[in-house]
Structures are given as C-alpha cells and as structure tokens.
Chain A
Amino acid sequence: MGRTLPSATQVFLQEEAAFSRFRRALRRSDQLALDDLFSSARQHLAAAQYASHALPFEVFLLSMLLEEHKEVMHLRQLVEEQLSRKP
C-alpha cells in the first residue's frame, strides 16, 4: 500500500519547483531573498504536515510570514533596548 497523499515535504518541493521559472527571472539579490523565504517555510514542514490543510501552500506562506514576524519582533526588541539605554 502506498501513500494516498504526497507528504508535506513532497508538496513543498513541488511548489518550490513550480516557482523555478519565476526565480530564474528575478535579480540575483531577489533570488537570494526568495531562497530565504523558502528556507524559512522549510523549517515548519513538520507543522505543515500536522496541519493537513487542504491548501498546503497557504500553510507554507503562513510559515514564511511567521519567520518574517519573528524577525520583526527580534528587531523591535533590539530597537527598544537601544532606546531604553539612551538617557
């Protein structure tokens, strides 16, 4: 008996491959940013698998957003620390 559905990792790789032409058309600096987005989504594949969402790409997008927001929170904290140190 095989799988009845592709795993989250398989879907992720398919989605990443589907955007290969888009990536190819981007500037090098944008390609690196896009790669960062996909690698941030890759960190949450286990959660995406557990979510069993009908549209996995939505979960991948949310994973990217999650990592972006973590980054924003981290930077906000640094700025607040810097501001609090000033007399």
Chain B
Amino acid sequence: MGSPGPVLGGVIGETPHRWHLHETDPSYTPGGVFFLLMACYAGSMLTSLQSQNIEPKTGRWILLVGPRSLNASVLTAIARFGERTPVRVLDGGNRFNAYKVARAARGRPETLERITVSRAFTCYQAHSLLESTPLSQFPFIVLDLLNTFYDESVQAGERKRLLKICISHLERLEVTSGGVVSVHPPAVPSQTAVEMLELLQASAGESIFVQPEPAQPQAMRLF
C-alpha cells in the first residue's frame, strides 16, 4: 500500500477542472472525482473480493474507498469478523443489509449476536453516534461514513467541522481496537467531497482504493 497523501494533493492541484465536469461532458461519470483519484492509486487498488480479507489492527483504522458495489463485500467481511469476535457496525448510509449479513453468516445466531448495528441518518447523528461509542477491544466498522456529510442542506464548513470531530473520535476508538471505514463517491461530484476524503485519508492508518469490478458478460437473449 502506498502513502496516498502527496499523490492526492498532486492530483487536486493539477486537475482542478475535473471538479466541474458537467453531465453533458462525455467524460462525466457520477462520482467521477473519486474515480479520478482512485486511478492514481494503482499500487493500492484491490478488487471487492480481496477487500473481504482486510484485517483491522489495533492502533489504526483502514479507509476503504470504492464504488457502492463494494458494500456487498464489506457486509460479507462483517459476517466473517462476527464469526470470531464481536463487531460494532456504525452505519452512516443505511448500507447495513441484515439479510445479506445473515446469509453470509449462514444464519448462525451466535455469529449474528456478535454484530451490533447503530445507524445515523444525518451528519449530526453520525457525529453523536461516534461520540457516544465507548472504547472497546472489539473492532468497529463504519459503513459509508461520508454519505450523510454529502447533504448540501448543511453548510460545507459545518460538515467539515463535524467530520473533523468524527475523525478525532475514530482516532480515539483506534487506540483500543482497529477499525474499517468505508466511503463511497457522492452522486454529484463536488470539491467539498474531495476535501472531506482528504481529511479522512490524512487520519487513516491505511487507505485502500477498490476498483469497480468489470460487468459480467451477459448472454444474448435469443427471443
């Protein structure tokens, strides 16, 4: 895994025009800024399948950046953690699908009982959720942390202020247990989103960018 900080700064400085891609631009993709950043991390790119084997370690938290399809792998990873140790899941984007986790855990109640879930639906709730999470020796997983921070009805400065507090709580939690924080690109690319990702990267012990898996070839329909 490379050290992402300087590379990220370079990209932002060199290609600011990419922030303002419009839908009429042929190179426009939703969340294009994030994918542009991801393209600069060839050394730290993983597939969704590999991301299931990420192991949280005490003293640092891992930042997982990838498309929304990455969520299925993260849910499988949660079930794997639950087989061995209690896991705390903090859901920032309503991404925790209990049915998928139950299926990955093969429905075993002892595994499912080790997984506790808390959800936040606004950035203020995300803040209070992290604030109220006590120190524990068990790993924590934050799903789609930035989702509530993309809400433009809250001023950008306020969102960044709250995110900084959230990061300080992540740093507090990593002291006794490792963790994984997943982040997905916003529906509409924005500079604030990139700045918030930068903040997270600066604090993360490791940043992993997961590339979207290529679409499976579909058999042509005969009729």
**Residues of A bordering B, CB below 8 Å:** 1-6, 11, 54-56, 58
Contacts and interface: CB of A to CB of B under 8 A. Distances in A.
B94 interface: yes
B54 interface: no
Interface string B84-118: 00000000001011110011000101001000000
A4 B96 contact: yes
Contacts of A5: 97-99
Contacts of B109: 54
B134 to A, nearest CB: 23
A55 B101 CA distance: 10
Contact of A4 (B107, B112, B119): B119
B121 interface: yes
24 contacts: A1-B121, A2-B94, A3-B94, A4-B94, A4-B96, A4-B119, A5-B97, A5-B98, A5-B99, A6-B97, A6-B99, A11-B99, A54-B98, A54-B99, A54-B102, A54-B107, A54-B109, A54-B112, A55-B99, A55-B102, A55-B103, A55-B107, A56-B99, A58-B107
Contacts of B98: 5, 54
Contacts of B94: 2-4
A36 to B, nearest CB: 22
A56 B101 CA distance: 12
The A interface is mostly helix, strand or loop, or mixed, namely: loop
A54 to B, nearest CB: 4
A1 B112 CA distance: 25
Contacts of B107: 54-55, 58
A56 B107 CA distance: 10
A6 B103 CA distance: 14
A58 B98 CA distance: 15
A54 B97 CA distance: 11
Nearest to A2: B94
Given A4-B119, A5-B99, A55-B102, 10 more contacts: A1-B121, A2-B94, A3-B94, A4-B96, A6-B97, A11-B99, A54-B99, A54-B102, A55-B99, A56-B99
Nearest to B112: A54
A3 B112 CA distance: 20
A35 B112 CA distance: 33
A72 B121 CA distance: 49
Contacts of B96: 4
Nearest to A1: B121
B12 to A, nearest CB: 33
Contacts of B121: 1
Contacts of A55: 99, 102-103, 107
